[in-house]
Amino acid sequence: IASLEDLQAALALYGSQQFLSAIQQASLGKTGREAVLAIAHAYRDVALANPGIYELMLRAPSADQPDLHEVSEQIVQYIMLVLTAYGLHGEAALHAVRGVRSLAHGFVSLELAGGFGLNLSRDESYARLVETFLDGLG
C-alpha cells in the first residue's frame, strides 16, 4: 500500500465486502418485510462494530476503484431484489434503497456521536424507525 488514500480505498473495499456478506447472511431464507428488517439491522450492527471502516464506506466509489464499484453495485442490486416483494422495481426500488440507507445512516451516525442521551432503548427506537419506513412502502 503506497499511500493513505490507497489504505483507505482498501479498507472501504474490505468493509463493503463484509457488509454485503452480513446483509446476505442476515436475510438468508427470509423474504419481504422480514428480509428488509434483517438487512436494516445488519447495517446497524456492521456500522457500530466497525465505525472507522463504516465511515470509509460512505463515499460512492470513484472511476479508479472498479472493485469497490462492483461490490457497491452488488449491495444495491441485492437490496433492490429484496424490495421486489413490495412491488418496487427500477427507479422506485432505487429510491427505496436510498431511503433504507438514509434512515440507517442517520440513526447510526447519531448513535456513534453519542446523540441519544435519554434513558430509552436505542434498539427499540431503531426497530420502530425501520418498521415505520416499511409501513410506508406498503
pLDDT averaged over every residue in the chain: 95
Residue 23's nearest CA partner among 14, 11, 10, 35 is 35
pLDDT(138) > 80: no
- Per residue in 59-113, pLDDT tens? 888 888 999 999 999 999 999 999 999 999 999 999 999 999 999 999 999 999 9
**CATH number of the domain where residue 74 is located:** 1.10.357.10
Which CA distances in Å does 73 have to 31, 80, 138? 20, 10, 25
Q: Into how many domains does the chain fold?
A: 1
Q: What percent of the chain has pLDDT over 70?
A: 100
Tell me the residue range of the domain where 50 lies: 4-137
Enter the pTM of the model.
0.92
pLDDT of residue 43: 98
Average pLDDT over residues 20-31: 98
